[in-house]
């Protein structure tokens, strides 16, 4: 019997591929069921990107240009863990976001809001041995996106994680607590209701830096390993 | 907070800064062992229109069939400078291009070997969950006995087969939906 190294994900954790409120999913979602593949070496290995050398300022998005970007400076930190709460050490965390005015430093973004020459909006951090990562950035603005009448994305930061294997790859978005736009956002609401709160960072008063920056905490939970037969044997 | 997995969300259209600096469309620097190949992966939506804003990642074994990862404990050579990971954005014609080496064969858990293949992740605006698929090489004699292809409806296996064009580039159209919908895997 094949034994999968990583736990199969039960329903109710992720959005469906097609979500009617999010228009682009209509033509970009497979309709046939995915073929269930036993986890082979191809799925339980994956890019660890340990050779990726990060620049000193890559996790501080406020210091990548000549001057300081406009907006509310924030610290975003948390831990990358698996389903059992075990850290995913040395994980590479990649983020990207729009500026405080709601505009991406991207040629495709035509939103009529100012670009900030001091804000590029991309960053990377390496989690430590306990899975802890930390970014300094500015709070992203809301922006309109044309999905429906008066559609605005709630403020969010895009996150990309590899975890230990091809099977654990995840791209997600972090939202801010108490944002009134969350209730209207089909991308956020595509996630089953019970799981949505996991996309919201927690305001972190203890982590705020006096006279300098508010802090938000965002833990990321990746797929974890099945118990091995030996672990079962030991209860 | 850890009461379940962090849910997936779309990459959106404006992935940029951090991901662009992590681009690696040429996986195999000079000196890496194996047959050098080029790949052209083209994304189409369910209506047959190209998807010009997708991001494609590939993950593969080296030419000896060894993954550069601690779970691969076999006594096979690792090539310096070859990680096996690539990332490229689709261009305006929906195509992401990679240069790499043809991968070797890797084992099947219940015995035997899989046909040479490249593991693919697809992200795009309108794609809420990563889509995982594989690229196989048309004409490879190992295809006939590949245990993964045996799990796939024979009528749909060709959606996983790259074909070599006149310029020697291995081309694979990837259809996110429609009549020619690609086979995606739950792994
Ligand atoms: Fe966004």
| End-to-end Cα separation, chain B, in angstroms | 25
Look up tokens 């035997």; give the residue.
Answer: B112
Secondary element (H or E) of residue B17:
helix B17-21
H-state helical runs in chain A: 41-44, 186-189, 193-196, 229-233
Distance CA B161, CA B172 (A): 7
Report whether pLDDT(B99) > 80: yes
Ligand 1 geometric centre to CA of A175 (Å): 10
Question: Which uninterrupted H or E stretch holds B121?
Answer: strand B117-123
The number of residues in chain B equals 187
- Provide the number of structural domains found in chain B: 1
Inform me whether the C-beta atom of residue A17 falls under 8 Å from chain B C-beta atoms: yes
Q: What is the mean pLDDT of residues B9-20?
A: 86
A50 band by pLDDT with thresholds 50, 70 and 90? confident
Kindly list the domain boundaries of chain A, sorted by start residue.
Answer: 37-49+57-222
Are B67 and A45 in contact by the 8 Å Cβ rule? The answer is yes
Q: Say whether pLDDT at B109 is over 90.
A: yes
Task: Report the residue of A6, A20, A40 to disrupt the B interface, i.e. the one with the largest count of B CBs within 10 Å.
Answer: A40
Determine contact: A25 vs chain B, CB below 8 A: yes
Q: Which of residues 134-153 of A touch B (CB under 8 A)?
A: none
Q: Answer whether A77 touches B (CB < 8 Å).
A: no
Reading the block at residue A34, the tokens are 């995915």
Q: Are B175 and B181 in contact (CB under 8 A)?
A: yes
For residues A210 and A70, the answer to whether their CB atoms sit within 8 Å is no
**CATH node for A37-49+57-222:** 2.60.130.10
Residue B32 lies in a domain: yes
pLDDT tens across B147-171, in order?
999 999 999 999 999 999 999 999 9
Contact criterion met (CB < 8 Å) for A221 and B15: no
**pLDDT tens digits, one per residue of A76-124:** 999 999 999 999 999 999 999 999 999 999 989 999 999 999 999 999 9
Distance A156 CA to ligand 1 centre (A): 6
Q: What is the C-alpha separation between B175 and A199, in angstroms, rounded?
A: 29
Count each helix (H run) and each strand (E run) in chain A, helices first.
4, 12
Specify if B6 maps to a domain.
no
> Shortest CA distance to B183 belongs to which of B147, B131, B138, B141?
B131
CB-nearest partner of B7 from A104, A158, A191? A191
Which residues constitute the domain of residue B153? 16-175
Subunit contact B5:A196, Cβ cutoff 8 A: no
Residue B139 CA to residue B180 CA, distance in Å, equals 20
B17 pLDDT higher than 70: no
Instruction: For residue A114, give how far its alpha carbon lies from the nearest alpha carbon of chain B (Å).
Output: 16
> H/E element holding B99?
strand B95-101
User: CB neighbours (10 Å) of residue B16?
Assistant: 23
Q: Is residue B16 very low, low, confident or very high in pLDDT (cuts 50, 70, 90)?
A: confident
Q: What is the DSSP letter of A77?
A: E
pLDDT at B21 over 90: no
Contact by Cβ (8 Å): A46, A105? no
CATH number, domain of B163, equals: 2.60.130.10
| A34 Cβ under 8 Å from any chain B Cβ | yes
Identify whether the C-beta of residue A60 lies closer than 8 Å to the C-beta of residue A122: no
Which residue is listed with tokens 């403020």? A155
Cβ–Cβ gap A220/B6 under 8 Å: yes
Q: Which uninterrupted H or E stretch holds A143?
A: strand A143-144
Based on its alpha-carbon atoms, the radius of gyration of chain A, rounded to whole angstroms, reads 19
- Among A1, A19, A36, A45, the residue to mutate for chain B (most B Cβ within 10 A): A45
Measured between alpha carbons, how far is B101 from A23 in angstroms, rounded to an integer?
Answer: 38
Q: What is the largest CA-CA distance in chain B?
A: 54
Q: How far is the alpha carbon of A205 from chain B, nearest alpha carbon, in Å?
A: 17
From chain A residues 109-128, the ones with a CB under 8 A of any chain B CB are 109, 120-124
- CA dihedral (A42, B182, B175, B179) in degrees, to 10, reads 180
Give this prediction's pTM: 0.96
Q: Which residues of A touch B57 (CB under 8 A)?
A: 47, 169
pLDDT of residue A61: 97
Nearest 5°: the CA angle A120, A125, A131 is 150
Contact call for A172 and B8, based on CB within 8 A: yes
pLDDT at position A227, please?
A: 83
Chain A positions touching B18 (Cβ under 8 A) are: 58, 94-96, 122-124, 160
Using the Cβ of A107 and the Cβ atoms of chain B, whether some distance falls under 8 Å is answered with: no
Chain A nearest C-alpha distance from B83 (Å): 7
**Could you tell me if residue B78 is inside a domain?**
yes
Hey, which residues of A are catalytic here? 104, 143, 153, 156, 158
Q: How does pLDDT run across A151-205, given as a tens digit for each residue? A: 999 999 999 999 999 999 999 999 999 999 999 999 999 999 999 999 999 999 9
Question: 3-state class of B6 per DSSP?
Answer: coil
Q: Which of residues 177 through 206 in chain A touch B, CB cutoff 8 A?
A: 187-188, 190-192, 194-196, 198-199, 202
For A172, the closest chain B residue by CA position comes to B9
Min Cα distance A212 → chain B (Å) is: 25
């Amino acid at each position: 019997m094949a034994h999968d190294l990583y736990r199969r994900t039960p329903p109710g954790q992720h959005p469906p591929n097609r979500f009617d409120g999010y228009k682009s999913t209509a033509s970009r979602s497979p309709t046939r069921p995915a073929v269930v593949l036993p986890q082979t070496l191809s799925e339980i290995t994956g890019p660890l990107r340990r050779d990726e050398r990060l620049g000193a300022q890559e996790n501080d998005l406020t210091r990548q240009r000549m001057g300081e970007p406009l907006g509310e400076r924030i610290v975003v930190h948390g831990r990358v863990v698996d389903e059992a709460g075990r850290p995913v050490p040395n994980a590479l965390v990649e983020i990207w976001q729009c500026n405080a005015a709601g505009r991406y430093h991207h040629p495709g973004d035509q939103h009529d809001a100012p670009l900030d020459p001091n804000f590029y909006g991309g960053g990377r951090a390496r989690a430590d041995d306990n899975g802890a990562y930390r970014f300094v950035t500015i709070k992203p603005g809301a922006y309109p996106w044309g999905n429906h009448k008066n559609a605005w994305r709630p403020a969010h930061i895009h996150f990309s994680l590899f975890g230990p294997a091809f099977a654990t790859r995840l791209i997600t978005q972090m939202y801010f607590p108490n944002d009134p736009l969350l209730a209207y956002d089909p991308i956020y609401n595509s996630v089953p209701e019970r799981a949505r709160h996991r996309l919201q960072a927690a305001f972190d008063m203890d982590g705020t830096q006096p006279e300098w920056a508010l802090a938000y905490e965002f833990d990321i939970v990746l797929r974890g390993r099945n118990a091995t037969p030996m672990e079962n044997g030991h209860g | 907070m850890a009461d379940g997995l962090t849910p997936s969300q779309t990459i959106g259209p404006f992935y940029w800064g951090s991901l662009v600096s992590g681009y690696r469309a040429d996986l195999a620097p000079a000196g890496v062992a194996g047959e050098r190949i080029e790949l052209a992966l083209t994304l189409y939506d369910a209506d047959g229109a190209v998807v010009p804003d997708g991001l494609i990642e590939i993950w593969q074994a080296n030419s000896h069939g060894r993954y550069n990862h601690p779970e691969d404990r076999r006594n096979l050579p690792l090539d310096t400078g070859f990680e096996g990971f690539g990332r490229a954005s689709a261009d305006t014609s929906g195509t992401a291009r990679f240069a790499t080496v043809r991968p070797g064969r890797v084992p099947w858990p219940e015995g035997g070997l899989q046909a040479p293949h490249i593991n693919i992740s697809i992200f795009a605006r309108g794609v809420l969950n990563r889509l995982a698929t594989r690229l196989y090489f048309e004409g490879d004699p190992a295809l006939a006995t590949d245990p993964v292809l045996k799990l796939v409806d024979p009528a749909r296996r060709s959606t996983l087969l790259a074909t070599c064009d006149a310029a020697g580039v291995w081309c694979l159209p990837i259809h996110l939906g429609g009549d020619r919908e690609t086979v995606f895997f739950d792994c």
